[in-house]
Amino acid sequence: MYRKVGAGIVAALHLIVGEGNVLIGNEKMEPYTHDEVVGLHADPEIVVKAASAEQISEILKLAQQERVPVTPRGAGTGLSGGAVPVCGGIVLSLEKMNRIPEIDRENLMVTVEPGVITGELHRTVEAEGLFYPPDPASLDTCSIGGNIAEGSGGPRAVKYGVTKDYVCSLEAVLPSGEIVTCGRKLVKDVTGYNLTQLLIGSEGTLAVVTKIILRVIPLPKLRVDLLVPFDDFQAAADTVSDIIGRRIVPAAIEFMERDAILASEQFLEKEAPYHDAEAQLLIQLDDNHQEAIDADFEIAGEICLKHGARDVLVAKDRPTRDRMWEVRRQIIPALKFQSPINHMQDLTVPRAKIGMLLKGIKEIARKHSVRIVCFGHAGDGNVHVNTLKDSMPDDRWQSLVPIVVDEEIYGLTLSLGGMLTGEHGIGVTRRRYLPMALDDAQIKILRGIKAVFDPNGILNPGKIFL
Ligand SMILES: Cc1cc2nc3c(=O)[nH]c(=O)nc-3n(C[C@H](O)[C@H](O)[C@H](O)COP(=O)(O)OP(=O)(O)OC[C@H]3O[C@@H](n4cnc5c(N)ncnc54)[C@H](O)[C@@H]3O)c2cc1C
């Protein structure tokens, strides 16, 4: 179906981006063969680093004419294989488009290029007293373009929402090479179908995003982080639903079970506080008024203690706070380090059902004598569930995954009114489960949308659909 990248295409790409921005047939292409999914690799035929929407337009026109697949790539931290060139062809890297051309203080908007690292955006706007809340745990390594394409979230989603809640406008290049601007620097805009929101979470399959206008808000003046250890896994899980039910809205409520904390501690080679606790909650409160923080702190603390929390450790200064969050942020690489073969799920359920989900997962783990480690954004009903191979024999692992993952964990999640993925996307790794969650009519519409944008299927093929 697709053509190979021949000498003519290589020469044309050299002309578009300059020879120094093309990698072909050398070991420098290795980083572009994978993202952060364990065991998923595919070789691109060529890697091209673009510097502008106009260059990307030329690349896509060429790819269209030659029927060569193009896989957009941000920083390669994805957890569903979205940036992996499973059909070969061109990897289109956005890493050079990493400027923040404007902070508009009057309209509270910031304009960014897709290759900007999310943590860099945070630091830049915070220096102006402004706040861009979405904070994926990978924020020091992922790009804002990748966040848009995946519809990323982060711990602060409990109070502030996710990436899609901050995007006002996107400039994007369609697979035809046309450059479009969806939305404007507007808080309100209902002019036609909402193409901006359609592109968010489209996993690089509909268009390549080249410029983004984001809404920012004033930076809250006060922040307190609490670390709450529990000697009972289920008590920690139930506390989350209880806090939400009591109508206080912390900025974040993260859940970490003991195996996740110990893995992170081992990986970081630093002792984590309360590392012997069965589970911990990391709760962040913020506001502009001390009385409001104090009131929420009192209620949250009281609920935690009622559920049997061993302590409520308060971090008011930056070093203590950073130490607490470092343990949380390193859990994914730490688990990968402990068990290089593992299966990670990104389950999402109604927030009040998080305790039931975690309980059910532990029962599945016990039933199959397999280590399943849970952590994540429990306050939004979104947890990451890692089934670890550890030293299990290969044949047992091969037969276990379809039962534990496909049938039992996804089955439980869907039965609780949940979905397959809250923020990591379908990509390659969850394609086969899509029909479990969406009916035929919905999948037909999704395929129809893809066909309207990309009738020849050149943009990021092999993603979302089988
Ligand atoms: C340790 C760790 C922690 C993580 N924590 C979180 C978390 O808390 N929350 C969360 O949501 N995710 C998390 N992730 C997953 C990942 O970081 C996010 O999905 C992130 O948004 C990916 O960004 P990226 O720049 O690395 O994108 P990539 O991996 O390069 O690409 C991801 C997808 O976006 C597409 N894409 C990239 N740039 C563009 C563009 N400009 N235009 C069109 N398509 C594009 C690619 O084709 C691909 O489909 C974590 C990952 C790791 C490794």
Tell how far the Cα of 151 is from the centroid of ligand 1, in angstroms: 9
* pLDDT of res. 1: 82
Q: Which residues line ligand 1 (CB under 6 A)?
A: 35-36, 71-79, 82-83, 94, 114, 136-138, 142-143, 145-147, 149-150, 152-154, 203-204, 208-209, 332-333, 423-424, 460
Q: How far apart are CA 442 and CA 32, in angstroms?
A: 32
Tell how far the Cα of 319 is from the centroid of ligand 1, in angstroms: 27
* pLDDT of res. 48: 98
List, for residues 38-93, the tens digit of each pLDDT value: 899 999 999 999 999 999 999 999 999 999 999 999 999 999 999 999 999 999 99
Tell how far the Cα of 77 is from the centroid of ligand 1, in angstroms: 5
Q: How far apart are CA 466 and CA 462, in angstroms?
A: 7
Nearest alpha carbon, ligand 1 atom 49: 82
Mean pLDDT of 96-110: 98
Q: pLDDT-derived band of residue 349, with 50, 70 and 90 as boundaries? A: very high
List, for residues 449-463, the tens digit of each pLDDT value: 999 999 999 999 999
Mean pLDDT of 21-35: 94
Boundaries of CATH 3.40.462.10 in the chain? 222-415
Tell me which of 112, 142, 174, 195 to substitute to probe ligand 1's pocket, judged by most ligand atoms within 8 Å of the beta carbon.
142
Mean pLDDT of 426-436: 96
Neighbours of 221 (CB within 10 A): 12
Tell me which of 73, 112, 386 to substitute to probe ligand 1's pocket, judged by most ligand atoms within 8 Å of the beta carbon.
73
Atom of ligand 1 nearest to the CA of 78: 29
Atom of ligand 1 nearest to the CA of 71: 47
Q: How far apart are CA 76 and CA 188, in angstroms?
A: 33
Mean pLDDT of 337-354: 94
In this structure, what DSSP letter does residue 432 have? G
Nearest alpha carbon, ligand 1 atom 2: 138
Q: How far apart are CA 374 and CA 39, in angstroms?
A: 21
List, for residues 358-372, the tens digit of each pLDDT value: 999 999 999 999 999
Tell how far the Cα of 369 is from the centroid of ligand 1, in angstroms: 32
Nearest alpha carbon, ligand 1 atom 9: 136
Tell how far the Cα of 104 is from the centroid of ligand 1, in angstroms: 26
- pTM exceeds 0.85, yes or no: yes
Tell how far the Cα of 146 is from the centroid of ligand 1, in angstroms: 4
Tell how far the Cα of 31 is from the centroid of ligand 1, in angstroms: 15
Q: What percent of the chain has pLDDT over 90?
A: 93
* pLDDT of res. 316: 74
Tell me which of 38, 52, 152, 163 to substitute to probe ligand 1's pocket, judged by most ligand atoms within 8 Å of the beta carbon.
152
Tell whether the model's pLDDT for residue 420 goes beyond 80: yes
Q: pLDDT-derived band of residue 241, with 50, 70 and 90 as boundaries? A: confident
Nearest alpha carbon, ligand 1 atom 50: 138
Tell how far the Cα of 147 is from the centroid of ligand 1, in angstroms: 5
Tell whether the model's pLDDT for residue 247 goes beyond 90: no
Architecture (CATH level 2) of domain 7-93: 2-Layer Sandwich (3.30)
Mean pLDDT of 136-160: 97
Q: pLDDT-derived band of residue 239, with 50, 70 and 90 as boundaries? A: very high
* pLDDT of res. 78: 98
Q: How far apart are CA 327 and CA 466, in angstroms?
A: 36
* pLDDT of res. 318: 85
* pLDDT of res. 12: 98
What residue type is assigned to position 74 of the chain? Answer: G
Average pLDDT, the chain: 96
- The three-class DSSP label of residue 463 is coil
Q: How far apart are CA 282 and CA 325, in angstroms?
A: 8
Closest CA to 123 of 148, 150, 153, 144: 144
Q: pLDDT-derived band of residue 257, with 50, 70 and 90 as boundaries? A: very high
* pLDDT of res. 320: 87
Boundaries of CATH 3.30.465.10 in the chain? 102-218
Boundaries of CATH 3.30.43.10 in the chain? 7-93
In this structure, what DSSP letter does residue 275 have? T
Tell whether the model's pLDDT for residue 333 goes beyond 80: yes
* pLDDT of res. 57: 98
The CATH code that applies to domain 102-218 is: 3.30.465.10
In this structure, what DSSP letter does residue 177 have? S
Q: How far apart are CA 151 and CA 146, in angstroms?
A: 8
Packing angle, helices 318-329 and 331-338, rounded to 10: 40
Tell whether the model's pLDDT for residue 97 goes beyond 80: yes
Nearest alpha carbon, ligand 1 atom 27: 146
* pLDDT of res. 258: 96
Tell whether the model's pLDDT for residue 26 goes beyond 90: no
In this structure, what DSSP letter does residue 134 have? -
Architecture (CATH level 2) of domain 222-415: 3-Layer(aba) Sandwich (3.40)
* pLDDT of res. 405: 84
